[in-house]
Amino acid sequence: MPSASDTSLLRDLPQIDEVIHHPFVICFAEMLPQEQLTQAAREAVDGARQAILAGTCTAIDLDAIAQEAGMRALALRKPSLRRVVNASGVVIHTNLGRSVLAPEAREAVDQVMAGYSTLEYNTELRARGSRHNHCERLICALTGAEAAIAVNNNAAAVMMVLTEFAAGRQAVVSRGELVEIGGSFRIPDIMKLSHAQMVEVGTTNKTHAIDYERALTPETGMLLKVHPSNYRMIGFTESVGIDELRGIADGAMADERCHDLLVYEDQGSGAFVKLDCFGAYAEPTVKTSLAAGADLVSFSGDKLLGGPQAGIIVGRKELIDRLKAHPLARALRLDKMTLAALEATLRIYLDPDRVLDDIPTLRMLSEDVDVVRARAEKLRKAVSKALPRGNVSMSVVEEVARAGGGALPMCDIPTACVKVEFERGGAQDCEAFLVSRNEVPIVARISHDAVLLDARTLVDDDEIGLIADGFSAYFAELDREGGDAL
Ligand X SMILES: *Cc1c(COP(=O)(O)O)cnc(C)c1O
Q: How far is the CB of 270 from ligand X (least distance, A)?
A: 8
Q: Is 24 left (phi over 0), alpha (psi -120 to 50) or beta?
A: alpha
Residues facing residue 413 across a β-bridge: 401
Angstrom distances, CA of residue 477 to CA of 23, 422, 426: 24, 15, 13
CB closer to ligand X out of 231 and 357? 231
CB closer to ligand X out of 360 and 405? 405
Q: Which one, of 302, 268, 370, lies nearest residue 102 by Cα?
A: 302
Angstrom distances, CA of residue 413 to CA of 181, 410, 445: 22, 9, 16
CB closer to ligand X out of 92 and 138? 92
CB closer to ligand X out of 311 and 470? 311
| Long-range contacts (CB closer than 8 Å, 24 or more residues apart) made by 276-279 | 277/365, 277/366, 278/408, 278/411
CB closer to ligand X out of 143 and 229? 229
Amino acid symbol at 75: A
CB closer to ligand X out of 406 and 425? 406
Helices (H), ranges, 204-349: 209-215, 242-254, 286-291, 317-324, 327-331, 336-348
Helices (H), ranges, 392-449: 427-436
Pairing between strand 147-151 and 311-315?
antiparallel
The contacts of residue 164 (CB under 8 Å, 6+ apart) are: 322, 323, 326, 328
Amino acid symbol at 430: C
CB closer to ligand X out of 186 and 316? 186
What distance in Å separates the CA atoms of residue 117 and residue 338, rounded to the nearest whole number?
13
Q: How far is the CB of 186 from ligand X (least distance, A)?
A: 10
CB 306 within 8 A of CB 361: yes
Q: Does an H or E element contain 72, and which?
A: helix 62-75
Q: How far is the CB of 154 from ligand X (least distance, A)?
A: 3
Q: How far is the CB of 313 from ligand X (least distance, A)?
A: 12
Q: How far is the CB of 158 from ligand X (least distance, A)?
A: 6
Q: How far is the CB of 266 from ligand X (least distance, A)?
A: 5
CB closer to ligand X out of 221 and 405? 405
Q: Which one, of 203, 204, 223, lies nearest residue 213 by Cα?
A: 223
What distance in Å separates the CA atoms of residue 13 and residue 10, rounded to the nearest whole number?
5
The contacts of residue 416 (CB under 8 Å, 6+ apart) are: 369, 372, 373, 375, 376, 377, 396, 397, 398, 399, 454, 455, 456
- The angle subtended at Cα 479 by Cα 476 and Cα 481, nearest 5°, is 110
Q: How far is the CB of 181 from ligand X (least distance, A)?
A: 4
Contacting positions for ligand X (CB under 6 A): 153-155, 158, 181, 185, 226-227, 229, 266, 268-269, 300, 311, 406
CB closer to ligand X out of 70 and 315? 315
CB closer to ligand X out of 311 and 315? 311
